[in-house]
């Protein structure tokens, strides 16, 4: 008898779909393809030698730690290093406020496990990060999308969503994925105040905050919240759960990220992680610590910023020259992405099929809209391709967009 697998899957699987981005990456592996689709860091900036040396030290000086089971919370020296770096940005935390996770994607999944019951409403930016939608769909989340402008989430619209009732607010305040937009300081303050007034926590996802190549650094929402609450000298115990990652600062293959929050939240998160994977790779944690100590990160991030700025500039200059009128796009001050709006009535998913035939790829923007819409949008990554490849890819895409617009 053939097993009827469709009737064996858990109910939660009905809300789970393959990641559009992960599936698109399979289509863009041809060597002649110029892909702006993946959220890939530039491999040229991976600190290969530093990791070779760190791995050697880990195996020669502390193999009993690097190759052994570890605590679920994470490698203590790494958590202490993160706490020290957090203090430089104005957030006082200790190791007990920090949990290491196997990438930020695991952190999002654990937060879903921790907070979301079927039918719970989550406030998100519109558009928002596809990986969060994918993680929380498994737990039966509903979404309250809040529109954005050039200053990020529109806080007057946020209050309308808060009145409908929400479990938490999810926001990427710096160089947002997919839009590239940064939440202004005024909006950060308003967001923290509104969240406090309505008693709704904030999940702050900040993978790109240190990759700013122009403009002034803005404080994380966790810092704004700490200042709003008047916390003086005590470890953070506020309303924001902060996520960040070494994927964009060192290398994504390591799958090392972290969560900062009130100790009571971190204890619950650790309980959820214990049943997920026991702990994040000990070897990778030790290696990341060995690479990151002695201020290596401060120097390395300068290389990342310079590289990505050059590539962002190449993309913007090529788009200014080669894209047709009627197409608009964001101009990020950092991060890895920008967002394109096509004229109303155009479908970026349909155009994508022809784009792939012409060996250029992007991510259709509809996937980033939690409640539907966005068919005329696309996400473009500028961090992965070289400036010459970027210009060639934009030329191919610009020609295609002109053809599509002139059809109308």
Domains, in order of start, for the chain? 5-47+298-407 (3.90.1150.10), 68-294 (3.40.640.10)
Residue 144 has pLDDT above 70, yes or no: yes
Spatial CA neighbour of 167 closest among 109, 106, 124:
124
Asked if residue 20 has pLDDT above 70, the reply is no
pLDDT surpassing 70 at residue 53: yes
Alpha-carbon dihedral sign for residues 225, 121, 38, 372: negative
Give the Cα separation of 341 and 348 in Å (integer): 9
- Least Cα distance to 61 among 395, 286, 257 occurs for 286
* Least reliable range by pLDDT among 14-23, 104-113, 114-123, 142-151: 14-23
**Which has more confidence, 234 or 167?**
167
Which residues are CB-neighbours of 402 under 8 A, at least 6 positions away?
324
pLDDT digits (tens, 9 = 90+) for 243-256: 999 999 999 999 99
Query: Which comes out higher in pLDDT, residue 372 or 3?
Result: 372
Least confident of 30-34, 195-199, 260-264: 30-34
pLDDT digits (tens, 9 = 90+) for 321-369: 999 999 999 999 999 999 999 999 999 999 999 999 999 999 999 999 9
71 is written with which tokens? Answer: 């605590």
Q: Can you tell me the distance from the alpha carbon of 280 to that of 71, in angstroms, rounded to the nearest whole number? A: 9
Q: What is the mean pLDDT of residues 283-294?
A: 96
Cβ atoms of 14 and 365 closer than 8 Å: no
Tell me the pLDDT band of 21, cut-offs 50, 70 and 90. low
pLDDT of residue 406: 84
pLDDT (0 to 100) of residue 5: 84
Tens-place pLDDT, residues 362-401? 999 999 999 999 999 999 999 999 999 999 999 999 999 9
What pLDDT sits at residue 408?
A: 61
pLDDT band at residue 30, thresholds of 50, 70 and 90?
Answer: confident
* Residues ≥6 apart with Cβ < 8 Å to 93: 83, 86, 87, 235, 236, 260
What is the Cα–Cα distance from 386 to 50, expressed in whole angstroms?
23
Beta strands in 208-280 (DSSP E): 240-245, 257-260
| pLDDT value, residue 13 | 78
């Amino acid at each position: 008898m053939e097993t009827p697998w469709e009737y064996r899957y858990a109910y939660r699987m009905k809300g789970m779909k393959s990641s559009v981005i992960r599936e698109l990456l399979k289509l863009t592996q041809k060597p002649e393809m110029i892909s702006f689709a993946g959220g890939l860091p530039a491999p040229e900036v991976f600190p290969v030698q530093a990791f070779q040396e760190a791995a050697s030290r880990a195996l020669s000086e502390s193999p009993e730690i690097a190759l052994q089971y570890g605590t679920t919370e994470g490698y203590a020296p790494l958590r202490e290093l993160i706490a020290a770096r957090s203090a430089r940005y104005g957030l006082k935390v200790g190791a007990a406020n920090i949990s290491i996770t196997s990438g930020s994607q695991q952190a999002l999944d654990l937060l879903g496990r921790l907070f979301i019951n079927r039918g719970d409403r989550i406030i998100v930016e519109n558009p928002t990060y596809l990986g969060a939608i994918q993680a929380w769909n498994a737990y039966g989340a509903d979404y309250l999308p809040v529109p954005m402008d050039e200053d990020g989430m529109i806080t007057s619209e946020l209050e309308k969503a808060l009145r409908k009732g929400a479990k938490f607010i999810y926001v990427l305040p710096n160089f947002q994925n997919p839009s590239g937009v940064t939440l202004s300081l005024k909006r950060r303050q308003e967001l923290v105040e509104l969240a406090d007034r309505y008693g709704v926590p904030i999940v702050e996802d900040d993978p790109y905050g240190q990759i700013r190549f122009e403009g002034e650094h803005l404080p994380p929402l966790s810092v704004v919240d700490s200042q709003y609450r008047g916390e003086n000298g005590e470890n953070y115990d506020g309303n924001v759960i902060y996520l960040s990652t070494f994927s964009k600062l060192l290398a994504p293959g390591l799958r090392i990220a972290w969560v900062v929050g009130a100790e009571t939240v971190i204890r619950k998160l650790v309980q959820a992680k214990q049943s997920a994977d026991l702990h994040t790779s000990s070897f990778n944690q030790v290696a990341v610590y060995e690479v990151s100590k002695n201020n290596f990160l401060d120097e390395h991030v300068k290389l990342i910023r310079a590289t990505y700025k050059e590539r962002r500039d190449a993309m913007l200059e090529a788009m200014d020259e080669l894209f047709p009128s009627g197409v608009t796009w964001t101009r990020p001050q950092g991060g890895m992405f920008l967002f394109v709006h096509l004229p109303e009535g155009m479908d970026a998913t349909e155009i994508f099929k022809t784009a792939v035939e012409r060996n250029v790829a992007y991510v259709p923007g509809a996937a980033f809209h939690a409640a539907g819409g966005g068919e005329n949008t696309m996400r473009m990554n500028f961090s992965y391709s070289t400036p010459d490849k970027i210009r060639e890819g934009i030329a191919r895409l610009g020609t295609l967009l002109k053809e599509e617009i002139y059809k109308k």
